[in-house]
Structure 1
Amino acid sequence: MSDITTQHWTASDGVDLAFHETGSGRPVILVHGLFSDAHLNWVKFGHAAKLAGAGFRVIMPDLRAHGASGKPHDPASYPKGILGRDLAELVAQLGLGDYDLGGFSLGSRTVVQGVGQGLDPRRAVLAGMGLEGLMGWEQRHRFFIEAFEKFDEALRGDRHWFAIQFMKSQKVDRIATRLLLESNSGVDDAMLAAFAMPTMVLCGADDHDNGSAPALAEALPNARYVEIPGTHTTSVTQKALGDALVGFLTEA
């Protein structure tokens, strides 16, 4: 897409952060997953273009330690809940008062943190996420720390191998992303209860990486579960993901 623009802004702690934008109309913020970036999750497979074509201003931040955003190696740059804080600051930076908000995987966790910190979108989308991935983050955290430790040694067949290959393909900054992982704070019942807005829990039929998406939908006050084809890795490549986003966000 040639009409993608990239802008930078400075977070309250001085870290340079980037966001990408396309389209005009109603704002929707989309937050990418761990070790990924806005381009891979939202642009490459046409989801942003579909939303722009449906009349949305699509705003896609690169999380700190990812993409075109800063990747500081100072542990002080990664306090607990930093991604939710960055998201809330971006909403304020852009002066958004009426907007939609969605995320994939770690992006969904960031959306939950942001809503828990007071963000109030009209509609919310939690994609690639299940209840256990939010309430039981410690298990996923251990998995990724082990992947870092096996980064240069894991062989095909190791349960960390595919995650490591993805990290290598994305050329992740291992110091920055490991520090970011350590910043993830727990999700509690009060954060889930804050989702009074209509919410779509969107997940691949064979995506069980973050637990049960249907259980997450049941745990939220005003949510429904929508299933698309794919695993955690392949669901973001499916045209059905963009179609589901457009369908949900354009409902009367």
Structure 2
Amino acid sequence: MKISLNDIALHVTLAGAGPPLLLLHGFTGNGQTWQPLVPALAARHALVMVDLIGHGASDAPTDPARYAIEQCVADLLALLDHFGIERVDLCGYSMGGRIGLLLAAGAPERVGRQILIGASPGLVDPAERAARLASDEALAERIEREGLAWFVDYWAAQPLFASQQRLPEQVRAAQRAQRLAGSAHGYANALRGMSVGRQPSLWAALPAIVTPTLLITGALDEKFCAIAARMAALMPHAQHVIVPNAGHAAHLEQPEEVARLIGNFLAGS
């Protein structure tokens, strides 16, 4: 279904029954990203799977400023209000994890527990932020120049996703189809508006985030394992779990184990 809020419409898929769980996909994903986990999670939770702005079947405005991560958080809060959800558990992957963390930091009364998969609080160093912003702008321009099909293949070939080459062909084909369901200008503007170089760094805010948090990383994703370890050391109610034989997208590469971890965490065990 499409839900109109603020000045855009977001596509949302609902499944299951029970306490609500908001699921936030990563860059180039959509709500279908979570399908491998749905059978297990929907047995105990009402899943709210949203296509973030510029992704899937949601609107993709032409103004990059509309994609700012703070505005994305405001859209999600409006979505919760639409469904009458005062307090929600959330699970975010990569870009979706950054958005979820900002939501929990800015509106802690709206979040019960959070699960962050392969996520980070952003960049502190101004030079790193500037370099990332310039890199994302250059890639955004190339997406618009080369087109959607080129970008989908380019993105899948990133070293960050190398471990996914071991997945069955049908799984990789399904992920490619999900990415092709987006648009070139939607992805380009999401890169611009939600760049790690543009978003506020939350590293200094982590000690004040008291939301119970589960940090999940794949053992093959050394960069984000290190980030999660640092986050867990700073957050008063965070735990870090490393999933064997998985890379950046642990929920895609080891869905049964990740669903088990999420279910146990939300159950308080």
Q: TM-score, normalised by structure 1?
A: 0.81
Matches within 5 A, 1:51-90: 51-53=41-43, 55-79=44-68, 81-90=70-79
**More divergent stretch after superposition (225-234 vs 76-85):** 76-85
The 8 Å contact of residues 228 and 235 in structure 1, kept in 2 or not, is answered as no
Closer, same or farther: CA 244–140 of 1 in aligned 2, 3 Å: farther
Whichever residue aligns with residue 162 of structure 1, its letter is: A
Q: Which one of 175, 181, 192 corresponds to residue 185 of structure 2?
A: 175
The 8 Å contact of residues 130 and 214 in structure 1, kept in 2 or not, is answered as no
Distance 1:87 1:134 in 2: 23
Count of residue pairs the alignment pairs up: 236
Closer, same or farther: CA 39–197 of 1 in aligned 2, 3 Å: same
2:157 match: secondary structure: helix
Alignment match, 2:94:
105
Closer, same or farther: CA 22–194 of 1 in aligned 2, 3 Å: farther
C-alpha deviation, 1:76, in angstroms: 4.6
Alignment match, 1:162:
157
Alignment match, 1:3:
none
1:128 aligns with 2:118: yes
Whichever residue aligns with residue 250 of structure 1, its letter is: A
The 8 Å contact of residues 29 and 56 in structure 2, kept in 1 or not, is answered as yes
**More divergent stretch after superposition (183-192 vs 195-204):** 183-192
1:129 match: secondary structure: coil
Distance 1:191 1:146 in 2: 30
1:232 aligns with 2:248: yes
Closer, same or farther: CA 141–216 of 1 in aligned 2, 3 Å: farther
Closer, same or farther: CA 189–237 of 1 in aligned 2, 3 Å: closer
The 8 Å contact of residues 218 and 249 in structure 2, kept in 1 or not, is answered as no
Closer, same or farther: CA 226–49 of 1 in aligned 2, 3 Å: same
Question: What fraction of aligned residue pairs are identical, expressed as a percent?
Answer: 25
Alignment match, 1:251:
268
Alignment match, 1:214:
229
Whichever residue aligns with residue 257 of structure 2, its letter is: A
Q: Structure 2 stretches of 5 or more lacking a match?
A: 162-171
Q: CA RMSD in A?
A: 3.0
Matches within 5 A, 1:197-208: 197-208=211-222
The 8 Å contact of residues 22 and 57 in structure 1, kept in 2 or not, is answered as yes
The 8 Å contact of residues 140 and 192 in structure 2, kept in 1 or not, is answered as no
Closer, same or farther: CA 79–146 of 1 in aligned 2, 3 Å: closer
Matches within 5 A, 1:12-51: 12=6, 14-40=7-33, 42-43=34-35, 45=36, 47-51=37-41
Distance 2:77 2:92 in 1: 14
After superposition, the C-alpha distances for 1:18-37 in whole angstroms (9 at most, x for unaligned) are: 11111111111111111111
Closer, same or farther: CA 25–235 of 1 in aligned 2, 3 Å: closer
The 8 Å contact of residues 112 and 191 in structure 1, kept in 2 or not, is answered as no
Matches within 5 A, 1:184-199: 184=194, 185-189=199-203, 191-199=205-213
